[in-house]
Structure 1
């Protein structure tokens, strides 16, 4: 059967992608950010996942106010980088895993989660920046990727509790797949940040680090955080952290923390990153 071998969380700041794409990774400002992913690059080169189930949010690239799915799973064979207004990122296209993706879709829908099945879409920085942080700048991504988009842009987003429960159902779905695959689940986005209004530039390191503690040691408490607390403490875009709970739910009750990194600022946001494995 397929097996979930690890979970990864990371921010997906668009400016990180721009720094990589424009050869600025060695500058002192950005070097501090990328240094936090050196362990991850070495680790994942040894782990060699077959598939990454990548939870992210679309930024009006594949979806718009015309169509807002709460949960959307990419079941296609290939997903190309989106043009977000300044051309697509110069990164490889993503090879999908249609057979596993459709099995997951079927399992989750029969487990009473309403998914939107997407056979064709482009993927933006929310998905490609985490791949760049973990794998560097290869000619082709070294594994298949299942994009899983969550609406955290237009109210109402799903609750943390719903995302955590979906992660548990995702584990059941993956482990019931008849195929010998090593699967990682990534939760991306966050941490505290706000992009508009009087609180633009908000960073709350105390909240961020408490959330990192909870996601590792007390995911039930993290899942119980209400929308209003995310907005008040972590800014309007801090709600992206509910996507980390899908990853955490997929790992089981207890985990071992292999790596933790937190840094401010990267552009006008806080960057957080974890690598977790289910405890034996």
Structure 2
């Protein structure tokens, strides 16, 4: 059967994609950030996932503000990089796993999640920047991708606890898929940042690092963080961290941390990254470099 073998979380800062695409990764401002992802690139080359379920948020690229689904699951065969106003990123087409996506959609409905099914959807930096960070510059992404777009841009947004329940339901769906697949689930977005208003440029390392700490074995506390707390402590865009909870919940009760990275700043935000393995998988963690 299919199995979720790991969870990955990362920020999806659009400026990272621009630095990547324009060959600026070695510049002084960017080199420490990209160096923080060297470990995971080597690790992913060894892990060779068949499918990645990638939780991200659309930035009004595929879904305008007249239609705002809370959770939108990509069920298409392919997804083109979105033009976010300055041309599409020069990255490969994202290819989906239609059979697994359809199975997940059906199982989510049976588990009483009224999921929105997307049979066409361009994917923006929220999806493609994490792929670049994990796999580097490639002619084709080395795995299939099932994008899961979460509304964190327009009220009402889902609660952290609802995202946690969705992660559990996704895990149940994957486990019941009969094909033998190595599946990873990624949570993207964050960490603390605010792009506008009097607090533009806000970064809260204390909140971010506490979130990373609790992601291992104090997840009950993370599930109870309210939208107001995210706004107050981590800025208007910090609520993107609820997508990390989908990833974490899908891994089960116990996890081991394989890698952790945190850096300030990247553009006008903090960058966080973590790799987790379900303990139940029986695989011993490799020491992070």
TM-score > 0.5 by shorter chain: yes
Residue 143 of structure 1 aligns with which residue?
A: 143
Matches for 1:62-211 after TM superposition, within 5 Å: 62-211=62-211
Helix, strand or coil at the partner of 2:252: coil
- Taking the aligned partners of 1:182 and 1:171, their CA distance within structure 2 comes to 13
How far did 1:64 drift? Answer: 1.2
2:25 is aligned with 1:14: no
Shift of 1:217: 1.7
> Corresponding residue for 1:248?
248
For each residue in 1:168-201, what CA deviation from the matched residue of structure 2 results, as whole angstroms up to 9, or x when unmatched? 1110000000100000000000000000000000
Residue 259 in structure 1 maps to residue 259 in structure 2: yes
TM normalised by structure 1 equals 0.99
2:37 is paired with a residue whose SS is helix
Distance 2:180 2:125 in 1: 30
Tell me whether 1:33 sits opposite 2:26 in the alignment: no
Could you say which residue in structure 2 is the equivalent of 1:3?
3
Distance in 2 of aligned mates of 1:136 and 1:240: 23
State the secondary structure of the residue aligned to 1:169: helix
Give the superposed CA RMSD: 0.5
Task: Tell me whether 1:49 sits opposite 2:63 in the alignment.
Answer: no
Distance 2:163 2:114 in 1: 12
Instruction: Using the TM superposition, give the Cα deviation of residue 32 of structure 1 relative to its aligned residue in structure 2, in angstroms.
Output: 0.7
Q: Secondary structure at the match of 1:247?
A: helix
CA distance in 1, matches of 2:14, 2:78: 22
Unaligned runs of 5+ residues in structure 1 are: none
TM-score of the aligned structures, taking structure 2 as reference length: 0.96
Unaligned runs of 5+ in 2: 281-289
Partner-residue secondary structure (3-state), 1:265? strand
* Whole-angstrom distance in 2 between the partners of 1:108 and 1:221: 25
The aligned length equals: 280
Q: What does 1:194-233 align with in structure 2 at a 5 Å threshold?
A: 194-233=194-233
- Secondary structure of residue in 2 paired with 1:28: coil
SS of 1:76's partner is coil
What residue is the counterpart of 2:287 in the other structure? Answer: none
Distance in 2 of aligned mates of 1:112 and 1:215: 26
Q: Does 1:24 align with 2:15?
A: no
**Structure 1: which 4+ aligned runs deviate by more than 6 Å?**
none
Q: Distance in 1 between matches of 2:220 and 2:102?
A: 29
SS at match of 1:162: helix
2:279 alignment partner in structure 1: 279
